[in-house]
């Protein structure tokens, strides 16, 4: 397991005040986080970035308690052959244990496939023997969707069935956005069946600002919920909401209490969430903007807040 070195801390428990989390759990650039409970604690993965002067394709950090996190290492040190090496854009990785292997789904920019505004973004799949990697990518994308590409893959296990969700990247080119659901093969490495648009989860609400993304299907007490981010990721309008769904492929309907996670003092633009269980309860990880004093520099740090269920609704606690 990765070595554990103190970077930043947060008390993973209730606190007074109007904000969701007073300090980040991991106070470094760590956008689009995904948290995976593992033996010995938690692993957090993020979009590609530079750490200690070195660019990491898939930064991964370990914590034994959710408070103390290791410096990120690269979970996928070798780039997939199908991505553009000079600008790979390895975004929003998510990992699931399938059988005895760990399978990672991620976004990457294809080196030859084109859409109207440039190279297409596709979803890839990689496999490792251990959750921290090294992950080895398959030689071709799992899916590129239609002409405009897809991003933000998120796997979901429903009994014996495996699903994957992707966001159609229509906001690149003025096309309505949709969330696509499709079954996966038993090993999680191939698509199965036919893709289906998840009805009811699209960019049609004012708080969404024309964009929905970062979708994650979860199941709580037999009910299906799709949690997602919306609006401009670079501003304080970025927020998190959810939809209640009839099944893994929908249809869904937006919750009336959206958004459930939005900007507050010291927490700007919280989104691209990851819901997980740890120490006997639910938590929600997300990124939010941090600003360097006396500087224009800013970055998206990792935050973690308790997530409770009240009358069948997810509620983010302080």
Give tens-digit pLDDT for 1-31: 443 333 333 334 333 333 344 689 999 999 9
Arithmetic mean of pLDDT over the chain: 90
28 Cβ partners below 8 Å, 6+ apart? 7, 8, 51, 72, 299, 301, 302
What is the total count of domains within the chain?
Answer: 1
Query: What 8-state DSSP symbol labels residue 71?
Result: P
HSE-up of residue 305 (Cα within 13 Å, Cβ side) = 25
- What was the pLDDT predicted at 5? 34
CATH code of 40's domain: 2.115.10.20
- Quick check: is 18 in a domain? no
DSSP SS3 for 56: strand
Give yes or no for residue 174 having a pLDDT over 90: no
- Quick check: is 11 in a domain? no
- What was the pLDDT predicted at 237? 97
Closest listed residue to residue 144, CA positions, set 172, 116, 171, 115: 115
Query: What 8-state DSSP symbol labels residue 171?
Result: G
β-bridge pairing 252-254 and 239-245? antiparallel
* Helix%, strand%, coil% for the chain, nearest 5: 0, 55, 45
- Quick check: is 19 in a domain? no
| Tokens describing residue 243 | 């939809």
Rounded to an integer, what distance in angstroms lies between the CA atom of residue 24 and that of residue 213? Answer: 22
Q: Over range 145-167, report the average pLDDT.
A: 95
Tens of pLDDT, residues 249-285 = 999 999 999 999 999 887 899 999 999 999 999 999 9
Question: DSSP letters of 220-232?
Answer: ETTEEEEEEEES-
Tens of pLDDT, residues 96-146 = 999 999 999 999 999 999 888 889 999 999 999 999 999 999 999 999 998
- Quick check: is 2 in a domain? no
- Quick check: is 25 in a domain? no
Tens of pLDDT, residues 32-80 = 999 999 999 999 999 999 999 999 999 999 999 998 999 999 999 999 9
Rounded to an integer, what distance in angstroms lies between the CA atom of residue 213 and that of residue 272? Answer: 7
- Quick check: is 212 in a domain? yes
- Quick check: is 15 in a domain? no
Closest listed residue to residue 164, CA positions, set 235, 71, 249: 249
Rounded to an integer, what distance in angstroms lies between the CA atom of residue 166 and that of residue 152? Answer: 6
Q: Locate tokens 């994957």: which residue? A: 164
- Quick check: is 234 in a domain? yes
- Phi, psi at 225, each rounded to 5°: -135, 130
Rounded to an integer, what distance in angstroms lies between the CA atom of residue 230 and that of residue 178? Answer: 12
pTM for this model (two decimals): 0.92
Rounded to an integer, what distance in angstroms lies between the CA atom of residue 269 and that of residue 240? Answer: 9
Tens of pLDDT, residues 235-247 = 999 999 999 999 9
Would you give the end-to-end CA distance of the chain in angstroms?
30
* Domain that includes residue 149, residue range: 34-316
In this structure, the dihedral spanned by the alpha carbons of residues 170, 176, 177 and 182, taken in order and rounded to 10 degrees, is -100
Q: Which of the residue ranges 8-17, 192-201, 226-235, 288-297 would you say has the lowest mean pLDDT?
A: 8-17
Percent of the chain with pLDDT over 70: 92
pLDDT band of residue 224 (cuts 50, 70, 90) is very high
297 CB neighbour count, 10 Å cutoff: 10
């Amino acid at each position: 397991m990765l070595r554990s070195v103190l970077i930043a801390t947060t008390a993973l428990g209730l606190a007074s005040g109007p904000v969701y989390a007073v300090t980040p759990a991991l106070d470094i650039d760590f956008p689009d986080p995904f948290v995976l409970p593992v033996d010995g604690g938690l692993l957090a993965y993020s979009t590609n970035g530079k750490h200690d002067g070195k660019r990491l394709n898939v930064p991964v950090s370990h914590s034994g308690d959710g408070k103390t996190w290791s410096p990120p290492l690269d979970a996928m040190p070798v780039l997939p052959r199908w991505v553009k090496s000079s600008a790979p854009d390895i975004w929003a990785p998510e990992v699931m244990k399938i059988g005895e292997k760990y399978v990672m789904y991620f976004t990457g920019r294809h080196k030859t496939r084109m859409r109207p505004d440039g190279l297409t973004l596709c979803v890839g799949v990689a496999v490792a023997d251990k959750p921290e990697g090294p992950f080895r990518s398959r030689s071709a994308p799992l899916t590129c969707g239609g002409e405009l590409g897809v991003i933000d893959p998120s796997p979901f296990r429903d009994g014996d069935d495996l699903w994957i969700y992707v966001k159609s990247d229509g906001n690149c080119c003025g096309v309505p956005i949709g969330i696509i659901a499709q079954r996966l093969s038993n090993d999680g490495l191939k698509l199965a069946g036919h893709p289906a648009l998840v009805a009811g989860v699209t960019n049609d609400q004012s708080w969404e600002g024309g964009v929905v993304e970062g979708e994650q299907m979860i199941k709580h007490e037999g009910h299906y919920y799709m949690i997602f981010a919306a609006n401009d990721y670079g501003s304080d309008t970025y927020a998190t909401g959810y939809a209640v769904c009839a099944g893994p492929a929908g249809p869904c309907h937006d919750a009336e209490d959206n958004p459930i996670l939005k900007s507050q003092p010291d927490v700007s633009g919280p989104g691209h969430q990851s819901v997980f269980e740890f120490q006997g309860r639910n938590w929600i990880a997300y990124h939010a903007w941090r600003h360097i004093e006396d500087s224009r520099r800013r970055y998206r740090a990792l935050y973690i807040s308790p997530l409770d269920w009240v009358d069948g609704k997810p509620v983010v606690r302080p």
